[in-house]
Amino acid sequence: MMFALIFFYFAFHAFHGERGLLAYIRNSHQLSEAKEELARATAEREVLEKRVRGLRSGSLDLDLLDERARDMLGLVRPNEILVVWPQDEKNYE
């Protein structure tokens, strides 16, 4: 009888304990979500770094400078069509 209780105690904690099987599965899922978020953040950072390199004085990209200035000032040319995207859907590529 005592052996069965001890076995049940350890078996229960092997599945439900702080370091049990269910905690391992939950932590593995959280780790994969964190890796995906890291990949998204890294990709966004690379895009932003590429844009910043185009604005440095040593390698000034005039088209990029014109785009940023007109975006920040809200200016358009007479022959252009302005399409406004919601802020949360803006793509920085």
| Domain assignment of residue 91, yes or no | no
**What is the pLDDT at residue 23?**
86
* Counted domains in the chain: 1
Report yes or no: 14 and 20 within 8 Å, Cβ to Cβ: yes
Q: Confirm whether pTM is higher than 0.75.
A: no
| Domain assignment of residue 89, yes or no | no
How much is the mean pLDDT over the chain? 83
| Domain assignment of residue 81, yes or no | no
Residues 24-54: pLDDT tens digits?
899 999 999 999 999 999 999 999 988 888 7
| Domain assignment of residue 8, yes or no | yes
**What is the pLDDT at residue 34?**
97
Range of 10's domain? 2-74
| Domain assignment of residue 80, yes or no | no
CA distance 74 to 69: 8
| Domain assignment of residue 59, yes or no | yes
User: Over pLDDT 90: what percentage of the chain?
Assistant: 25
| Domain assignment of residue 86, yes or no | no
**What is the pLDDT at residue 28?**
94
